[in-house]
Chain A
């Protein structure tokens, strides 16, 4: 690539070409390169969108059409007729809502404790918490499966959200940083006024962490909605499937031949909530990832 484009806003320097002209060329080049990259980023989505609305004949047309004509909703009708897609959505929303609420509350509570309250072993426990973030989920997948079997909740939604009710290590870490940034005078004044520690948490500090909570809510929504491997091992019955699981098996539901139109329509429906969240919460999401650096 062209290294000239890397140069940051230039500072006074002996000018050859005229600074204006030089920086205009550099800017044009920047726009051009970014534009090409965005094209590559967006074309798959355009293709997804157009495939979802194509008739079976047009989908196999070559050269392919980008704007389908005629536009058909047949693919969507088909997926709701052939499968229980609305049930998958309902299941995913349930799992997401339950784990989201619980994660937000218990992560906040633990973060408050780690950030504000003094008790023996606190720092050691926090190191343990940091350590758990590095363990790949697969390392404890089989025993988790056994736990769910022992509890008799295999093949229920409870198995999918149960491990995610107690506060996530990463969220606690993130919120703790946030709590540490709040002035201690707030707690002290409230304690003076006779609040106990839980009232300090609930009435004074928690409302101030709203921006961080928003970020975590978005991250947990995406994690829960997109989760695949865990539902895959716990769930067997179609009526219990989450969207990712339903979608992955959908491709086999036409026999050996894949019906691309309905499959892309289903893919679009599953991706849509995430896309909406991405745009609605772009500031919180991108800001949250920038400051903390999660997801590979």
Chain B
């Protein structure tokens, strides 16, 4: 390394150089943030107040789009589909992930390999997973109905059946528990063994230890997973787009699918912007609600130590 050569005219103090270098290091991120995140956020808020069909100029119409949304049945229908999916898929996935994680932290051999195997579905993208499950859930030749037949059950039409389509997507989402499982394993491994020892001295059985040690100590992790899974579930798009295009009979017409079609198929950019801002506000409200409720059920060790 050569010592830096500086022009004697601009001799800056070390502190000044540190400040300038500091701004330079974050400059690229900041430019990207302004141009591709913050700017567009503000722009989309403005677009949501306009009537705009992409080819013409945005025409300011105040809150008309939001007013229109209130009486738009598709908004409510697609929100309801999204909510139904969220309240079934999120708990199901978290419970499954917790069961697997609890088994994986037991002192047995081969846990690393098994953890990787459980993780595989999460690395495959939304589109390949959707196509694979489309084939598995095929009513006539799919493997799911074949297994059901072996059990003597006549399988439904799955994604072709309006009654089953949404539950097919819930089932598919339960296949992919890799991320919550890995995070829960890490959370479980962080629980200090002496807590279990103390519980045993107090005569706790397996269930007591799970209920009064594992769950409270794991609750911050579960809380984090709950927030991120709910946000994720509200953004389901790939599977619905690829597998069902929202059908049959709009049974899987997710909110983002409605947004996408409004904006990019019917080129109603103003209304689509309003739709997405409603989603954003809903996500904030839900996150806030979960945060609010957290004081009731999330246990932070640091609160006690104080």
A and B form one complex: yes
A186 CB–B CB distance under 8 Å: no
Q: A142-B263, A286-B182 are in contact. Are A196 and B17 (CB under 8 A)?
A: yes
Give the interface centre of A10, A47, A233, A294 by most chain B CB atoms within 10 Å: A47
Question: Which of the segments B73-81, B119-127, B156-164, B296-304 contacts the partner chain?
Answer: B119-127
Q: Are B22's CB and A163's CB within 8 A?
A: no
Measured between beta carbons, the chain A residues less than 8 angstroms from B126 are 226, 228, 244
Number of interface residues of B (CB under 8 A): 108
Q: Are A167's CB and B29's CB within 8 A?
A: yes
Q: Are A38's CB and B114's CB within 8 A?
A: yes
Q: Are A291's CB and B39's CB within 8 A?
A: no
A132 CB–B CB distance under 8 Å: yes
Give the interface centre of A119, A120, A233 by most chain B CB atoms within 10 Å: A119
Bound-state CA distance A90–B116 (Å) is 28
Q: Are A41's CB and B22's CB within 8 A?
A: no
Q: Are A140's CB and B41's CB within 8 A?
A: yes
Bound-state CA distance A9–B108 (Å) is 10
Q: Are A3's CB and B21's CB within 8 A?
A: no
Measured between beta carbons, the chain A residues less than 8 angstroms from B146 are 62-64
Bound-state CA distance A278–B247 (Å) is 33
Bound-state CA distance A251–B133 (Å) is 13
Within 8 A of B (CB), among A224-258: 225-229, 232-233, 244, 247-248, 251
Q: A44-B132, A120-B19, A129-B29 are in contact. Are A229 and B40 (CB under 8 A)?
A: no
CB distance from A1 to the nearest CB of B (A): 6
A143 CB–B CB distance under 8 Å: yes
Q: Are A139's CB and B280's CB within 8 A?
A: yes
B143 CB–A CB distance under 8 Å: yes
What 0/1 readout, one digit per residue, does chain A (259-296) give for beta carbons within 8 Å of chain B? 01001100100110011011100100110011101111
A43 CB–B CB distance under 8 Å: yes
Q: Are A296's CB and B229's CB within 8 A?
A: yes
Q: A191-B14, A247-B131, A270-B125 are in contact. Are A45 and B120 (CB under 8 A)?
A: yes
Measured between beta carbons, the chain A residues less than 8 angstroms from B272 are 142
Q: Are B123's CB and A140's CB within 8 A?
A: no
A53 CB–B CB distance under 8 Å: no
Q: Are B135's CB and A132's CB within 8 A?
A: no
Please give me the residue from chain A that is nearest to B146 by CB atom. Answer: A64
A201 CB–B CB distance under 8 Å: yes
Q: Are B114's CB and A228's CB within 8 A?
A: no
The residue from B36, B37, B121, B200 contacting A41, defined by CB atoms under 8 A apart: B121
Measured between beta carbons, the chain B residues less than 8 angstroms from A147 are 35-36, 40
Measured between beta carbons, the chain B residues less than 8 angstroms from A120 are 19
B32 CB–A CB distance under 8 Å: yes
Q: Are B47's CB and A222's CB within 8 A?
A: no
Bound-state CA distance A142–B273 (Å) is 7
CB distance from B214 to the nearest CB of A (A): 7
CB distance from B264 to the nearest CB of A (A): 6
A165 CB–B CB distance under 8 Å: yes
B66 CB–A CB distance under 8 Å: no
Q: A119-B22, A132-B37, A138-B256 are in contact. Are A289 and B206 (CB under 8 A)?
A: no
Q: A64-B143, A140-B37, A267-B132 are in contact. Are A1 and B18 (CB under 8 A)?
A: no
Q: Are B229's CB and A41's CB within 8 A?
A: no
Q: Are A166's CB and B277's CB within 8 A?
A: no
CB distance from A233 to the nearest CB of B (A): 6
What 0/1 readout, one digit per residue, does chain A (181-199) give for beta carbons within 8 Å of chain B? 0000000000101111111
Measured between beta carbons, the chain A residues less than 8 angstroms from B44 are 139-143
Question: Which of the segments A27-35, A71-79, A209-217 contacts the partner chain?
Answer: A27-35
Q: A37-B118, A142-B44, A274-B123 are in contact. Are A248 and B18 (CB under 8 A)?
A: no
Q: Are B133's CB and A109's CB within 8 A?
A: no
Q: Are B22's CB and A118's CB within 8 A?
A: yes
Q: Are B29's CB and A172's CB within 8 A?
A: yes
B69 CB–A CB distance under 8 Å: no
B31 CB–A CB distance under 8 Å: yes
Measured between beta carbons, the chain B residues less than 8 angstroms from A118 are 15, 18-19, 22
A85 CB–B CB distance under 8 Å: no
The residue from A42, A60, A163 contacting B32, defined by CB atoms under 8 A apart: A163
Q: Are A229's CB and B238's CB within 8 A?
A: yes
Q: Are B235's CB and A136's CB within 8 A?
A: yes
Contact sample, A vs B, 6 pairs, CB 8 Å cutoff: A5-B106, A119-B22, A167-B28, A169-B33, A193-B1, A203-B1
Which 6 A-B pairs give the minimum distances between C-beta atoms? A166-B32, A296-B232, A226-B125, A113-B25, A140-B40, A119-B22
